[in-house]
Structure 1
Amino acid sequence: MTELEPKNRSRKIIHVDMDAFYASVEQRDNPGLRGKPVAVGGSEARGVVAAASYEARKFGVHSAMPSIRAKRKCADLIFVMPRFEVYKSISLQIRAIFAEYTPLIEPLSLDEAYLDVTDNLKGMNIATDIALEIRAKIKEATGLNASAGISYNKFLAKMASDLNKPNGQAVITPRNGPTFVEALPVKKFHGVGPATADKMRRLGIETGADLKARSLDFLIDNFGKSGPYFYGIARGFDERQVKPDRVRKSVGAEDTFREDIFACDPAREGIQPLIEKVWDYCDANRIKAKTVTLKVKYSDFKQITRNCTVATSFSSISEIEDAIERLLAAIFPTTKGIRLLGVTLSSLDKLDGKEQAQLPLFC
């Protein structure tokens, strides 16, 4: 057995993924939207789709698609402004249900999470039964549907949760896991983005079987630190643990404006709610950040970013506001209109109560 082979296939991992979460919440709360194609976020003329209902997906509308393109695909598409506080409140309800079964919960976003139910609080032996109960409780408590994937590791649980969407679940067992991976196109692998998929295609890797045929040295040479991970998942194993204290790599918010911005004052006004949103998230989750990044997208769709890093962490929202003020000042005056601004906090870690305010080092 090599050092990369699984030490234990007895783990029971569930990946729970809410179905079209934001759009489903809007359809739940507004009966007039039910059964209709709905896009959360953006508008008919500007912005980006944050989520699409299943009725909209039938037309090819999906998240991250420019709103104007989405409208071309679906003439009857209804745009709805997002209500993140509502989504967060429902997410907390769902997380409380998870906690009835296990303390090993790793949220990936408001609408999905990994659960390790190997040694669960209910003493239940069958993970599929746990997933069924959790999904039923979510439906009862929120009126929303969830799908689930069950397997012996995180990678396969994530892949399984997509197999019977919406409102379904699937199991990938240790026996059929390697075979399932071999038949799967690598572009569908969780963790393989478009750029990596393109690179793999150029190297002649289009399926899990193709990936499995490559040596560990080859994958390290071509994909660096991700090489061992790809080597493992090609064989159906993944030793990553479910981490309850997982800290996100970054927290961001952005907004597309109805009219292009040409001056600093309206830019400050437009970006303030974004600063508050990312700060509130970090404050509520006791997360500290060392880097703040300003994202700017111009009317010609050219995009730039500017960042500022401090020695330890930002200790107040005013420090972030000061940093953004300096970053904004550097891009004005501008001859091009600004259609979008964004704020991202990164270099994140958990607060330990010992941080002290620091002057920015690189702005």
Structure 2
Amino acid sequence: MDRKNILLAVSGGIAVYKAVALTSKLTQAGANVKVMMTEHATEFVPPLSFQVLSRNDVYTNTFDEKNSKVVAHIDLADWADLVIVAPATANIIAKMANGQADDMVTTTLLATEAPVWVAPAMNVHMINHPAVVRNINQLYADGVRFIEPEEGYLACGYVGRGRLEEPEKIVQRVHEFFLEDEQALLGKNVLITAGATREKLDPVRYFTNHSTGKMGFAVAEVAKRAGANVTLITSTRERLVPPGVNAVYVGSAEEMYAAVKENQAKQDAFVMTAAVADYTPQFVSEQKIKKQPGDFKIEMKRTKDILADIGETKTANQVVVGFAAETENIRENALKKLASKKADFIVANDITDAGAGFGTDTNIVTIYGANGSEESFPLLDKSEVAKEIVKRITSRLEQK
């Protein structure tokens, strides 16, 4: 982080006090920090606090040009290596999503080409409001990234999701971001599978599972930031594909197998996060199966084992990462899968643990390596788990 330029945009919420601490910690870590504040933010904390801690002027007014040789909001926009909006209120998120530029903060955000991170902080009902969710999704599609808020006691008295992430954790993420900027996977090709497959029974019905693809999409984003050429093979159409990632959409296990095999030869690494159906209907009806008296039996057949196939046919220079979602005997099953699938790593989790199941933003995993390594992690955001996976891929590719 040494000598990196970080522009902190502070909007008007009670969590502004955490932005003061964030400014201090970023400065202590060696970053050059400049702060711009909305008018409402100054109602909570005076600009002087940020000025003292950052040792830089604080920007609050578009028309307050501190240096006559430059246009302030353009100069700040060009100066930044990273822009962090913290705390981000529902109001500033709405303005950003709609391209509004009516103050120093929003004008500068429109002008910058630096990566922009948003750290929301608001009431639990506000952050779940359809309008706020819609604005967040729009910003994500525009390339903005989010620092997820924590759950806990809120200033309004509610307990729930909406607390600004702690400054220490934000600083750690900034540190990791600039390490990733070294492009450890530059030029490497990484194939990722994500989400559940859908096994058709008739034109109306299909078999599937609870996987949402969140883990695979997180790996795709981290690998792309590390410089990789990423191919994401997924059945999940509800999630936004990270910018620059090549998405291949499939439905069934057979379609996913075909897509993986078609792209296999040119890959350096495979991350098989998808929850692929083990069985599919033996017969698929062309017409809707009508309800009949009595029980109904469906004959099932095995699908192709994509992970086993890739493990068996991989070249000496390719790295394969598999996943094991278990409910019992986690270590035993993971090690068995590691050996039988001939994978380099197996990422195992107990889906019955709180925060580690399908559809969550977090996970609790243990990563088993073919070299005998075994490392367990506490509850982490899936993006953090993705970083651990990408680190191991990078290391193993260097070894090979």
RCO comparison, higher one (Cα < 8 Å, 6+): 1
TM over 0.5: no
Q: TM-score range by the shorter chain?
A: under 0.3
Q: Which of the pair has more CA radius of gyration?
A: 2
TM-score scaled to structure 1, two decimals?
0.27
